[in-house]
Structure 1
Amino acid sequence: MRMTISGPPGSGTTSLAKYLAQKHELRVISAGEMFRSLAKEREMSLADFGKLAESDAAVDKLIDARQKETAEGEDNIIAEGRLSGWMVSNADLRIWLSASLDCRTKRISSRDSEDETHARAHTEERQECERKRYLGYYNIDINDMSVYDIVLSSERWDVEGLGAIVDAAIATLRS
Protein backbone atom coordinates (compact mmCIF):
# COMPACT_ATOMS: atom_id res chain seq x y z
CA MET A 1 0.00 0.00 0.00
CA ARG A 2 1.33 3.37 -1.02
CA MET A 3 -0.79 6.40 -0.13
CA THR A 4 -0.50 10.16 0.00
CA ILE A 5 -2.12 12.58 2.41
CA SER A 6 -2.15 16.26 1.53
CA GLY A 7 -3.91 19.40 2.72
CA PRO A 8 -3.28 22.98 3.78
CA PRO A 9 -1.45 23.89 7.00
CA GLY A 10 -3.44 22.84 10.07
CA SER A 11 -5.79 20.50 8.22
CA GLY A 12 -4.65 17.42 10.14
CA THR A 13 -2.53 15.62 7.57
CA THR A 14 0.18 14.73 10.09
CA SER A 15 -2.35 13.44 12.63
CA LEU A 16 -4.11 11.28 10.06
CA ALA A 17 -0.82 9.99 8.64
CA LYS A 18 0.38 8.94 12.10
CA TYR A 19 -2.96 7.33 12.92
CA LEU A 20 -3.04 5.30 9.70
CA ALA A 21 0.65 4.43 9.89
CA GLN A 22 0.24 2.91 13.33
CA LYS A 23 -2.95 1.06 12.44
CA HIS A 24 -1.70 -0.36 9.12
CA GLU A 25 2.03 -0.64 9.91
CA LEU A 26 3.03 1.94 7.31
CA ARG A 27 6.02 4.28 7.36
CA VAL A 28 5.35 8.03 7.12
CA ILE A 29 7.49 10.15 4.82
CA SER A 30 6.65 13.74 5.76
CA ALA A 31 7.63 16.69 3.55
CA GLY A 32 6.69 19.04 6.39
CA GLU A 33 9.02 17.26 8.81
CA MET A 34 11.82 17.48 6.24
CA PHE A 35 11.12 21.21 5.84
CA ARG A 36 11.00 21.83 9.62
CA SER A 37 14.17 19.81 10.14
CA LEU A 38 16.05 21.83 7.53
CA ALA A 39 14.80 25.10 9.08
CA LYS A 40 15.97 23.95 12.50
CA GLU A 41 19.36 22.85 11.17
CA ARG A 42 19.82 26.34 9.75
CA GLU A 43 18.48 27.91 12.98
CA MET A 44 15.69 29.68 11.09
CA SER A 45 12.00 30.18 11.85
CA LEU A 46 9.56 28.44 9.52
CA ALA A 47 8.51 31.82 8.12
CA ASP A 48 12.12 32.81 7.41
CA PHE A 49 12.92 29.40 5.96
CA GLY A 50 9.80 29.68 3.79
CA LYS A 51 11.11 33.00 2.47
CA LEU A 52 14.46 31.35 1.75
CA ALA A 53 12.65 28.57 -0.10
CA GLU A 54 10.75 31.21 -2.06
CA SER A 55 14.03 32.75 -3.23
CA ASP A 56 15.95 29.49 -3.62
CA ALA A 57 14.07 26.81 -5.55
CA ALA A 58 16.69 24.24 -4.56
CA VAL A 59 15.17 23.99 -1.05
CA ASP A 60 11.74 22.85 -2.21
CA LYS A 61 13.06 20.79 -5.06
CA LEU A 62 15.39 18.86 -2.73
CA ILE A 63 12.57 18.03 -0.32
CA ASP A 64 10.15 17.14 -3.11
CA ALA A 65 12.66 14.96 -4.96
CA ARG A 66 13.64 13.07 -1.79
CA GLN A 67 10.04 12.39 -0.85
CA LYS A 68 9.09 11.34 -4.39
CA GLU A 69 12.06 9.01 -4.77
CA THR A 70 11.55 7.38 -1.38
CA ALA A 71 7.77 7.06 -1.70
CA GLU A 72 7.82 5.68 -5.23
CA GLY A 73 10.55 3.20 -4.37
CA GLU A 74 8.99 1.66 -1.26
CA ASP A 75 5.84 -0.20 -0.34
CA ASN A 76 3.84 0.28 2.84
CA ILE A 77 4.32 4.03 3.09
CA ILE A 78 2.33 7.20 3.54
CA ALA A 79 3.78 10.26 1.83
CA GLU A 80 2.45 13.26 3.73
CA GLY A 81 2.82 16.76 2.35
CA ARG A 82 1.17 19.46 0.31
CA LEU A 83 2.39 18.10 -3.05
CA SER A 84 2.48 14.38 -2.27
CA GLY A 85 -0.68 13.61 -4.22
CA TRP A 86 0.83 15.26 -7.27
CA MET A 87 4.38 13.94 -6.88
CA VAL A 88 3.95 10.25 -6.03
CA SER A 89 2.90 8.94 -9.41
CA ASN A 90 2.36 5.34 -8.33
CA ALA A 91 0.23 5.99 -5.21
CA ASP A 92 -2.60 3.53 -4.61
CA LEU A 93 -4.67 6.13 -2.74
CA ARG A 94 -4.46 9.93 -2.70
CA ILE A 95 -6.23 11.86 0.09
CA TRP A 96 -6.78 15.61 0.54
CA LEU A 97 -7.90 17.01 3.90
CA SER A 98 -9.71 20.32 4.07
CA ALA A 99 -10.84 22.63 6.86
CA SER A 100 -11.75 26.29 7.05
CA LEU A 101 -9.05 28.87 7.70
CA ASP A 102 -10.65 29.68 11.07
CA CYS A 103 -10.51 26.03 12.15
CA ARG A 104 -6.94 25.58 10.94
CA THR A 105 -5.83 28.84 12.57
CA LYS A 106 -7.14 27.66 15.95
CA ARG A 107 -5.31 24.35 15.59
CA ILE A 108 -2.05 26.00 14.56
CA SER A 109 -2.34 28.58 17.34
CA SER A 110 -2.87 25.84 19.91
CA ARG A 111 -0.14 23.59 18.51
CA ASP A 112 2.49 26.29 18.09
CA SER A 113 1.55 28.31 21.22
CA GLU A 114 1.01 31.55 19.33
CA ASP A 115 -1.94 33.94 19.33
CA GLU A 116 -4.62 33.33 16.71
CA THR A 117 -4.09 36.65 14.92
CA HIS A 118 -0.42 35.86 14.32
CA ALA A 119 -1.19 32.24 13.44
CA ARG A 120 -3.79 33.34 10.87
CA ALA A 121 -1.47 35.89 9.25
CA HIS A 122 1.40 33.39 9.16
CA THR A 123 -0.85 30.67 7.71
CA GLU A 124 -2.22 32.94 4.97
CA GLU A 125 1.30 34.12 4.12
CA ARG A 126 2.61 30.56 4.05
CA GLN A 127 -0.22 29.31 1.82
CA GLU A 128 0.26 32.12 -0.69
CA CYS A 129 4.03 31.64 -0.70
CA GLU A 130 3.65 27.89 -1.31
CA ARG A 131 0.97 28.37 -3.97
CA LYS A 132 3.25 30.67 -5.97
CA ARG A 133 6.26 28.39 -5.58
CA TYR A 134 4.43 25.23 -6.69
CA LEU A 135 2.91 27.00 -9.68
CA GLY A 136 6.31 28.38 -10.64
CA TYR A 137 8.36 25.22 -10.08
CA TYR A 138 5.98 22.52 -11.28
CA ASN A 139 2.96 24.26 -12.82
CA ILE A 140 0.86 22.66 -10.06
CA ASP A 141 -2.21 24.52 -8.82
CA ILE A 142 -2.44 23.36 -5.22
CA ASN A 143 -6.18 24.18 -5.25
CA ASP A 144 -6.82 21.61 -8.01
CA MET A 145 -8.31 18.53 -6.34
CA SER A 146 -8.53 16.45 -9.53
CA VAL A 147 -5.64 14.12 -8.59
CA TYR A 148 -7.19 13.05 -5.27
CA ASP A 149 -9.25 9.92 -4.78
CA ILE A 150 -10.79 11.18 -1.54
CA VAL A 151 -11.35 14.75 -0.30
CA LEU A 152 -12.36 14.86 3.38
CA SER A 153 -13.27 17.59 5.85
CA SER A 154 -11.12 17.36 8.96
CA GLU A 155 -13.37 20.03 10.44
CA ARG A 156 -16.34 17.68 10.29
CA TRP A 157 -14.58 14.48 11.45
CA ASP A 158 -11.90 13.89 14.05
CA VAL A 159 -8.88 11.71 13.30
CA GLU A 160 -10.72 8.50 14.23
CA GLY A 161 -13.63 9.40 11.93
CA LEU A 162 -11.27 10.28 9.10
CA GLY A 163 -9.38 7.04 9.78
CA ALA A 164 -12.57 5.00 9.56
CA ILE A 165 -13.38 6.46 6.14
CA VAL A 166 -9.86 5.81 4.88
CA ASP A 167 -9.89 2.32 6.43
CA ALA A 168 -12.95 1.50 4.30
CA ALA A 169 -11.13 2.71 1.18
CA ILE A 170 -8.03 0.66 2.08
CA ALA A 171 -10.14 -2.44 2.66
CA THR A 172 -11.77 -1.99 -0.74
CA LEU A 173 -8.42 -1.54 -2.48
CA ARG A 174 -7.00 -4.64 -0.79
CA SER A 175 -9.97 -6.87 -1.67
Structure 2
Amino acid sequence: MRITISGPPGSGKTTACSKLSEVLGLEAVVFGRIFRELAAEKQLTLSQLGAIAEQDPSIDNMIDDRILQMARTHPDLILESRLSAYMLTRNGIEAFKIHIDASPEVRMKRVGLREGETLEEATAATIDRQRSEAKRYKQWYDIDINDLSVYDLVLNTDDMDPDQVLAAILEGLDAWDAH
Protein backbone atom coordinates (compact mmCIF):
# COMPACT_ATOMS: atom_id res chain seq x y z
CA MET A 1 0.00 0.00 0.00
CA ARG A 2 1.05 3.58 -0.64
CA ILE A 3 1.09 6.02 2.25
CA THR A 4 1.85 9.73 2.17
CA ILE A 5 2.87 11.72 5.23
CA SER A 6 2.78 15.50 5.09
CA GLY A 7 2.92 18.39 7.49
CA PRO A 8 4.85 21.51 8.40
CA PRO A 9 8.44 21.55 9.73
CA GLY A 10 8.71 20.16 13.25
CA SER A 11 5.34 18.43 13.26
CA GLY A 12 6.86 14.97 13.72
CA LYS A 13 6.26 13.66 10.22
CA THR A 14 9.77 12.35 9.62
CA THR A 15 9.81 10.49 12.94
CA ALA A 16 6.37 9.05 12.17
CA CYS A 17 7.53 8.06 8.70
CA SER A 18 10.56 6.26 10.10
CA LYS A 19 8.57 4.39 12.76
CA LEU A 20 5.82 3.45 10.30
CA SER A 21 8.39 2.21 7.79
CA GLU A 22 9.97 0.03 10.44
CA VAL A 23 6.67 -1.45 11.64
CA LEU A 24 5.18 -2.06 8.19
CA GLY A 25 8.43 -3.03 6.47
CA LEU A 26 7.85 -0.45 3.73
CA GLU A 27 10.49 1.70 2.09
CA ALA A 28 10.24 5.33 3.16
CA VAL A 29 11.29 8.15 0.88
CA VAL A 30 11.77 11.51 2.61
CA PHE A 31 11.75 14.27 0.02
CA GLY A 32 12.84 16.98 2.45
CA ARG A 33 16.23 15.27 2.44
CA ILE A 34 16.48 15.82 -1.32
CA PHE A 35 15.83 19.55 -0.86
CA ARG A 36 18.38 19.69 1.99
CA GLU A 37 20.97 17.82 -0.10
CA LEU A 38 20.39 20.16 -3.03
CA ALA A 39 20.85 23.19 -0.75
CA ALA A 40 24.07 21.69 0.65
CA GLU A 41 25.38 20.90 -2.85
CA LYS A 42 24.82 24.50 -3.86
CA GLN A 43 26.22 25.72 -0.51
CA LEU A 44 22.93 27.48 0.28
CA THR A 45 20.66 27.58 3.30
CA LEU A 46 17.16 26.14 2.99
CA SER A 47 15.82 29.71 2.96
CA GLN A 48 18.19 30.71 0.16
CA LEU A 49 17.25 27.70 -1.96
CA GLY A 50 13.58 28.38 -1.23
CA ALA A 51 13.98 31.94 -2.51
CA ILE A 52 15.57 30.62 -5.71
CA ALA A 53 12.76 28.06 -6.08
CA GLU A 54 10.21 30.90 -5.89
CA GLN A 55 11.68 32.13 -9.20
CA ASP A 56 12.60 28.76 -10.72
CA PRO A 57 9.91 26.06 -10.77
CA SER A 58 12.37 23.43 -12.03
CA ILE A 59 13.56 22.76 -8.47
CA ASP A 60 10.11 21.77 -7.19
CA ASN A 61 9.25 20.09 -10.50
CA MET A 62 12.27 17.78 -10.15
CA ILE A 63 11.18 16.71 -6.68
CA ASP A 64 7.53 16.31 -7.69
CA ASP A 65 8.46 14.25 -10.75
CA ARG A 66 10.36 11.91 -8.41
CA ILE A 67 7.33 11.66 -6.12
CA LEU A 68 5.08 10.61 -9.00
CA GLN A 69 7.66 8.24 -10.48
CA MET A 70 8.16 6.53 -7.12
CA ALA A 71 4.40 6.29 -6.51
CA ARG A 72 3.71 4.85 -9.96
CA THR A 73 6.46 2.24 -9.79
CA HIS A 74 6.18 1.21 -6.12
CA PRO A 75 2.77 0.05 -4.90
CA ASP A 76 4.14 -0.44 -1.36
CA LEU A 77 5.87 2.74 -0.25
CA ILE A 78 5.76 5.63 2.22
CA LEU A 79 6.28 9.08 0.70
CA GLU A 80 7.03 11.94 3.05
CA SER A 81 6.71 15.36 1.48
CA ARG A 82 4.57 18.46 1.69
CA LEU A 83 2.90 17.86 -1.68
CA SER A 84 2.76 14.07 -2.01
CA ALA A 85 -0.92 13.81 -1.01
CA TYR A 86 -1.91 16.53 -3.48
CA MET A 87 0.24 15.08 -6.29
CA LEU A 88 -1.11 11.56 -5.89
CA THR A 89 -4.70 12.79 -5.61
CA ARG A 90 -4.37 14.90 -8.77
CA ASN A 91 -2.89 11.95 -10.65
CA GLY A 92 -5.43 9.36 -9.50
CA ILE A 93 -2.89 7.32 -7.51
CA GLU A 94 -4.49 5.70 -4.48
CA ALA A 95 -2.79 6.14 -1.14
CA PHE A 96 -3.58 6.55 2.54
CA LYS A 97 -2.80 10.24 3.07
CA ILE A 98 -1.74 11.51 6.50
CA HIS A 99 -1.27 15.11 7.63
CA ILE A 100 0.65 15.63 10.86
CA ASP A 101 0.69 19.00 12.59
CA ALA A 102 1.56 20.59 15.91
CA SER A 103 1.25 24.07 17.37
CA PRO A 104 3.85 26.59 16.24
CA GLU A 105 5.38 26.66 19.73
CA VAL A 106 5.92 22.89 19.80
CA ARG A 107 7.18 22.79 16.21
CA MET A 108 9.70 25.61 16.73
CA LYS A 109 11.15 23.90 19.81
CA ARG A 110 11.52 20.65 17.85
CA VAL A 111 13.13 22.38 14.87
CA GLY A 112 15.54 24.27 17.13
CA LEU A 113 16.61 21.06 18.86
CA ARG A 114 17.01 19.23 15.55
CA GLU A 115 18.96 22.00 13.84
CA GLY A 116 20.97 23.07 16.91
CA GLU A 117 19.42 26.55 16.78
CA THR A 118 18.00 28.84 19.40
CA LEU A 119 14.23 29.13 19.54
CA GLU A 120 14.47 32.56 17.90
CA GLU A 121 16.67 31.28 15.05
CA ALA A 122 14.43 28.27 14.48
CA THR A 123 11.32 30.43 14.49
CA ALA A 124 12.70 32.93 11.99
CA ALA A 125 14.03 30.25 9.62
CA THR A 126 10.88 28.12 9.83
CA ILE A 127 8.50 31.03 9.26
CA ASP A 128 10.54 32.08 6.24
CA ARG A 129 10.60 28.52 4.90
CA GLN A 130 6.85 28.07 5.35
CA ARG A 131 6.11 31.41 3.68
CA SER A 132 8.29 30.46 0.72
CA GLU A 133 6.74 27.01 0.38
CA ALA A 134 3.16 28.32 0.60
CA LYS A 135 3.94 30.94 -2.06
CA ARG A 136 5.55 28.40 -4.40
CA TYR A 137 2.82 25.81 -4.01
CA LYS A 138 0.12 28.38 -4.76
CA GLN A 139 2.10 29.98 -7.59
CA TRP A 140 3.27 26.84 -9.39
CA TYR A 141 0.48 24.35 -8.56
CA ASP A 142 -2.51 26.37 -7.34
CA ILE A 143 -2.35 24.35 -4.11
CA ASP A 144 -3.39 25.90 -0.83
CA ILE A 145 -1.20 24.02 1.63
CA ASN A 146 -3.76 24.77 4.36
CA ASP A 147 -6.48 22.82 2.51
CA LEU A 148 -6.50 19.51 4.36
CA SER A 149 -9.43 18.00 2.44
CA VAL A 150 -7.16 15.58 0.52
CA TYR A 151 -6.09 13.78 3.71
CA ASP A 152 -7.56 10.59 5.16
CA LEU A 153 -6.09 11.24 8.62
CA VAL A 154 -5.17 14.54 10.29
CA LEU A 155 -3.24 14.41 13.57
CA ASN A 156 -2.08 17.08 16.00
CA THR A 157 1.01 15.79 17.79
CA ASP A 158 1.30 18.47 20.51
CA ASP A 159 0.45 16.03 23.30
CA MET A 160 1.60 12.81 21.65
CA ASP A 161 4.89 10.98 21.85
CA PRO A 162 6.18 9.13 18.76
CA ASP A 163 4.66 5.80 19.85
CA GLN A 164 1.24 7.41 20.32
CA VAL A 165 1.50 8.99 16.87
CA LEU A 166 2.37 5.60 15.39
CA ALA A 167 -0.57 3.95 17.17
CA ALA A 168 -2.98 6.61 15.85
CA ILE A 169 -1.66 6.17 12.31
CA LEU A 170 -1.98 2.38 12.46
CA GLU A 171 -5.53 2.70 13.78
CA GLY A 172 -6.42 5.11 10.97
CA LEU A 173 -4.76 2.86 8.42
CA ASP A 174 -6.75 -0.15 9.63
CA ALA A 175 -10.01 1.79 9.31
CA TRP A 176 -9.06 3.07 5.83
CA ASP A 177 -7.88 -0.36 4.68
CA ALA A 178 -11.24 -1.85 5.74
CA HIS A 179 -13.11 0.47 3.37
Match of 1:94 in 2: 97
The Cα offsets for residues 13-49 of structure 1, whole Å up to 9 and x where unpaired, read as 1100000001101111222011111111212211211
Distance in 2, matches of 1:7 and 1:139, equals: 18
Structure 2 distance, partners of 1:131, 1:5, is 17
CA-to-aligned-CA distance 1:90-114 (integer Å, 9 cap, x gap): 2331000111111110000010001
* Count of aligned residue pairs for this structure pair: 175
Q: Deviations over 1:37-67 (max 9, x none)?
A: 1111212211211111112111011111111
Structure 1 equivalent of residue 162 of structure 2:
159
Summarize the alignment of residues 118-137 of structure 1 with structure 2, pairs less than 5 Å apart. 118-137=121-140
Identity %, equivalent residues: 38
Unaligned runs of 5+ in 2: none
- 1:135-174 aligned at under 5 Å gives the runs 135-174=138-177
Structure 1 residue aligned with 2:34? 34
Asked whether the equivalents of residues 4 and 79 of structure 2 are also in contact (C-alpha less than 8 Å), the reply is yes
SS at match of 1:114: coil
Note the aligned Cα RMSD (angstroms): 1.2
2:28 is aligned with what amino acid? V
For residues 21 and 91 of structure 1, the distance between their equivalents in structure 2, rounded to whole angstroms, comes to 18
Q: What stretches of structure 1 move > 3 A for 4+ residues in a row?
A: 172-175
- Cα separation, 2, equivalents of 1:92 and 1:134: 21
Q: Secondary structure at the match of 2:23?
A: helix
Answer whether contact 1:39 1:45 (CA < 8 A) is retained: yes
